[in-house]
Amino acid sequence: MAAKPPRAQRIGVFVDVQNMYYSARHIYNSKVNFKALLQEAVEGRTLVRAIAYVIRTEDLSREEFFKVLENLGYEIRAKDIQVFVDGSKKGDWDIGIAMDMIEMAPRLDTLVLVSGDGDFVPLVEHLQRALGCRVEVIAFGKSASGKLRDATNKFTDLDANPRKFLISKKPHAMARPGEIETHHEGVERSARGQRK
């Protein structure tokens, strides 16, 4: 069977919003341009679904943020952060993203994961080997897992053209190490690595 020409590919885009939001904030003190991100992911191909996975926090609980994402064409999946008795907090969509990608894979030619979290490596490998899908990853290279880069069919490094993918509060100043906060496990790991 002949491969489909790139423009005819059916694609799904799966965005780990926390990973993108905090990576942009910590590295560039900026916000992600989710419109430019979606355009880069689609590249003129046939978009079947674009899903943004959000954990409601003080930073990401505003209804206007959700409305902006919806107006750009994203479906929103949101859930509250878990707070444990000892005061620790946990919030991630890793299993939800993985399940959605596996379930939708038979109806897609290419799956685009927007996250730099290395926990997704087994998922990427499974989608490629067991389901025969092309898997692309979009992330900030400075905070992305090297293993995730190596596993994917195509890695798009947002650090290569930050002006295109960021909405700046200030001109792309790098965050100082003391300013790095740890709100998401994936970003926390990369922040610790940067401080060493």
Report the topology of domain 38-195. Rossmann fold (3.40.50)
Main-chain phi, psi angles of 95, to 5 degrees: -70, -40
Helix ranges (H only) for the chain are 17-28, 34-42, 63-71, 94-104, 121-129, 146-151, 162-165, 185-195
* pLDDT computed for residue 91 by the predictor: 62
Neighbours of 167 (CB within 10 A): 12
Global pTM? 0.80
Percentage of the chain lying above the pLDDT 90 cut = 64
Question: Taking the domains of the chain in order of start, what are their residue ranges?
Answer: 38-195
* Structure confidence by residue, pLDDT tens digits, 137-195: 999 999 999 999 999 999 999 999 999 999 965 544 444 333 323 233 333 333 334 33
Contacts of 58 (CB under 8 A, 6+ apart): none
- Give residue for tokens 């790098």: 174
Confidence label for 79 from pLDDT (cuts 50, 70 and 90) = confident
